[in-house]
A and B are shown apart, each in its own frame.
Chain A
Amino acid sequence: MTGTGEAEAPRDKCLRPQMESPAERIEPEPATGSLLFNKWLWGVILVGQLSIPLFISLQGKETFRFPKEVALRTQAILLIGLALAGAAKGVYAPRLDFRSPSVFLPLAIVGWTAIATLLSTNRTLSTYALSTVVLTALTFIIMSSLAASHSLGSLTWLLIPAALTSVFGALQFWNVWRPFQLPDNTGKIAITALLGGSTDVAVFLLMPSLVAISLAIAANGTKRIVYTILFLLLSFGIVICQNRTVLLAFVTGLVALSLIASPRKALAGLLAAICLTALVLFTFKPVRSRLNDGLQRFENREYNAVLSLRLTAFMAAWSMFKERPIAGMGPDTFHWHYFPYNLALTERYPELLRNDWPENFAEVHNDHLQILAEAGVGGYLLFVTVIIWFAQPSLSRALPAHGFDRSGQRRRFLRLFSLPFAASFFVLALAQFPLRLSATVNSLLFLAALRAAWWRTGD
């Protein structure tokens, strides 16, 4: 191997198999019938990636989020059924290594969710949540069993709906096209795309934007230009949504990416991120107004207002966790418990939690606290373990980060993308709820499956 990571062509062909690194080991091709079936199954997954973020129900009371929840579960059932039918017919035979984190972790999550459901304070709600977790885990296992034979081009199916969402959001922001007959709202309030609100749009666009920039760095030629344009489009969509948490997570991801891509240039990257952030803050009036408003409220000790009136939800979740720290209150029970906790907290801390129009939160708006409240310490440890597992390719010493090996394009992408993704997701979950948004969960599952398939443990 040369210093750039490119393998030298061996003079003696007999040596070639021995010089082949574990990373380059070619999996034996499945039989033709199973190859076709695997392609069909992968096609179902890609159609899901394309369609779930865009699926809405105009006749329903809940137009945006609920239809996507249904679509995600339906996709899961369809995949599981097709996989079982394929297994019965003998055309689908995944090799599952139960010692591998990509199999062990989802099963551990299912197991812990089952325990938390048995001990739940509302088993009716938790049982449905358990079924969703089982479906999601099996979807991930099926996705990761198929992803090994697919190229970086699969990520295009993630970027297309993100690009459409960004364009749609921009058209609504500038009042060019508002097809949902919204009241006369302006700016970020007018943004729904097909996801529901500016928060949903910003959270959804975050991961694809990091995918685009990682692909732009990993690619060359025309592809680099295309991915760069996509990255700029998705970044613009994030900025116009003006969500502070998503912007912070976005910057975190970019800083981590600059550290991975070129440690020597990381300082320049960090300065660029600071300049970019300052540019957005001081030139984009809506963001500047929000920042000034937040600082003013902080000076007036209106801490609940600084946190967008979510302090009550945070404190309620923490109280629930303290009451049942091991297994939590039960999956999907936060919204059921929030009302009495809210009453008790606002009466105990009236000045701190002062709010002229209180909201009955269905989510904590902090996935860390939500998991602690609903699944206890066990659930949270699994959550952190998954994030660390995802970041592992960037921290691995298997291949140098700055080399470019044509046959290892996928691994190079993962080296660039994994830690920025994990870091930005960790920050995002501090004040948002990506795990409760089905469009985002669908993207996360897909990315996690690609990570599992494209980077084997021990390579």
Chain B
Amino acid sequence: MIRAAAAVAILLGTFYFVRREIEPLHCNTIVKQQEAAALPALDSGPLVNPQTIALRARTNLDVINAAIRTCPREVGLYMVAAVNYRLIQRPQDAIRMYEAALTYDRRPEIYLQLGNTHAEAGNRDAALANLLLALRFRPEYLADVNSPQLQLTLSAEPYLSRWLRKTGPVTPP
């Protein structure tokens, strides 16, 4: 009787851990859905009602933050969370999300967006430091620097000047 009870308890525990193990698949789906929703909104400019964007962003953030608690290792969740925070003019929260992403992976895209977000928050030195890291890896990212003033400052870097002489001027986003 005790053995049977132990076996049942172990099986229940197994199915609990199996369910927990499958949850990252759902987080993987959320990342894809949120990227499809958030990125066009970031680029939409003045054509879409800002209040509509903000409302959608807040709804998205509820879903994303719940997913982050379940799947803290999913870097894509931090990236889409940061995009949504930027949409509702909360750059400090976006910076927090990008820095959390950096604990799991260090990619040039993260440094690029972190630099752009620091620029939006008015942190010029931090913006330059992060953008330089991204541009040292791939100078083509110069076209993705949102601030024209920072783009001009970065163009003066020696290796970027050489690269620009070879490829020509970049088009601002």
Q: Which residues of A contact B (CB under 8 A)?
A: 57, 59-62, 66-67, 70, 73-74, 77-78, 80-82, 84-86, 88-90, 122, 124-125, 128, 335-340, 342-343, 347, 357-358, 360
Interchain residue pairs A-B with the least CB separation, the first 5: A81-B14, A60-B28, A61-B32, A88-B6, A85-B7
Name 8 A/B residue pairs within 8 A (Cβ), A-sorted.
A57-B25, A61-B32, A70-B21, A70-B24, A88-B6, A125-B104, A335-B105, A336-B104
Which single residue of chain A is at the shortest CB-CB distance from B106?
A339
Query: Is B136 positioned at the interface, with any CB of A under 8 Å from its CB?
Result: yes
B131 to chain A, nearest CB (A): 14
A82 to chain B, nearest CB (A): 7
Q: A59-B32, A90-B3, A339-B137 known; 5 other A-B pairs, CB under 8 Å?
A: A60-B31, A61-B32, A61-B76, A66-B24, A336-B105
Residue among A60, A125, A336 with most chain B CB within 10 A: A60
A59 to B108, Cβ gap below 8 A?
Answer: no
User: Pick the contact of B137 from A86, A124, A342 — CB < 8 Å?
Assistant: A342
- Bound together, the chains give a CA A104 to CA B106 distance in angstroms of 36
A343 to B137, Cβ gap below 8 A?
Answer: yes
B103 to A339, Cβ gap below 8 A?
Answer: no
**Given contacts A70-B22, A88-B7, are A124 and B103 in contact (CB under 8 A)?**
yes
B35 to A60, Cβ gap below 8 A?
Answer: no
B60 to chain A, nearest CB (A): 15
| Secondary structure of the A contact surface, majority rule | helix
B99 to chain A, nearest CB (A): 14
- Bound together, the chains give a CA A338 to CA B106 distance in angstroms of 8
- Bound together, the chains give a CA A335 to CA B105 distance in angstroms of 7
Q: What residues of chain A lie closer than 8 Å to B124, measured between beta carbons?
A: none
B85 to chain A, nearest CB (A): 20
B7 to chain A, nearest CB (A): 4
Q: What residues of chain A lie closer than 8 Å to B138, measured between beta carbons?
A: 357-358
User: Pick the contact of B29 from A57, A73, A128, A336 — CB < 8 Å?
Assistant: A57
Q: What residues of chain A lie closer than 8 Å to B108, measured between beta carbons?
A: 339, 360
A88 to B3, Cβ gap below 8 A?
Answer: yes
Q: What residues of chain B lie closer than 8 Å to A59, measured between beta carbons?
A: 29, 32
Q: What residues of chain A lie closer than 8 Å to B13, measured between beta carbons?
A: 81
User: Pick the contact of B106 from A80, A81, A336 — CB < 8 Å?
Assistant: A336
Q: What residues of chain A lie closer than 8 Å to B73, measured between beta carbons?
A: 128
User: Pick the contact of B107 from A81, A82, A339, A343 — CB < 8 Å?
Assistant: A339
**Given contacts A62-B28, A360-B107, are A89 and B7 in contact (CB under 8 A)?**
yes
A128 to chain B, nearest CB (A): 6
Query: Is B55 positioned at the interface, with any CB of A under 8 Å from its CB?
Result: no
B104 to A57, Cβ gap below 8 A?
Answer: no
Q: What residues of chain B lie closer than 8 Å to A358, measured between beta carbons?
A: 137-138
B4 to A89, Cβ gap below 8 A?
Answer: yes
- Bound together, the chains give a CA A61 to CA B39 distance in angstroms of 14
B61 to chain A, nearest CB (A): 18
B25 to A61, Cβ gap below 8 A?
Answer: no
- Bound together, the chains give a CA A208 to CA B48 distance in angstroms of 55
Query: Is B18 positioned at the interface, with any CB of A under 8 Å from its CB?
Result: yes
B21 to A61, Cβ gap below 8 A?
Answer: no
Q: What residues of chain B lie closer than 8 Å to A62, measured between beta carbons?
A: 28
- Bound together, the chains give a CA A70 to CA B106 distance in angstroms of 23
A124 to B107, Cβ gap below 8 A?
Answer: no
B35 to A78, Cβ gap below 8 A?
Answer: no
Q: What residues of chain B lie closer than 8 Å to A66, measured between beta carbons?
A: 24-25, 28
**Given contacts A59-B29, A59-B32, are A86 and B17 in contact (CB under 8 A)?**
no
The B104-129 residues at the A interface (CB cut-off 8 A) are: 104-108
- Bound together, the chains give a CA A336 to CA B73 distance in angstroms of 13
A74 to B29, Cβ gap below 8 A?
Answer: no
Q: What residues of chain A lie closer than 8 Å to B28, measured between beta carbons?
A: 57, 60-62, 66-67
The B7-57 residues at the A interface (CB cut-off 8 A) are: 7-8, 10-11, 13-15, 17-18, 21-22, 24-25, 28-29, 31-32, 35
A70 to B25, Cβ gap below 8 A?
Answer: yes
Query: Is B133 positioned at the interface, with any CB of A under 8 Å from its CB?
Result: yes
B104 to A81, Cβ gap below 8 A?
Answer: no
A74 to B22, Cβ gap below 8 A?
Answer: yes
B36 to chain A, nearest CB (A): 10
Q: What residues of chain B lie closer than 8 Å to A343, measured between beta carbons?
A: 133, 136-137
Residue among A66, A84, A339, A360 with most chain B CB within 10 A: A339
B22 to A81, Cβ gap below 8 A?
Answer: no
B29 to A82, Cβ gap below 8 A?
Answer: no
B10 to A81, Cβ gap below 8 A?
Answer: yes
A73 to B21, Cβ gap below 8 A?
Answer: yes
Q: What residues of chain A lie closer than 8 Å to B15, measured between beta carbons?
A: 81
B137 to A67, Cβ gap below 8 A?
Answer: no
The B55-80 residues at the A interface (CB cut-off 8 A) are: 73, 76
Q: What residues of chain B lie closer than 8 Å to A88, measured between beta carbons?
A: 3, 6-7, 10
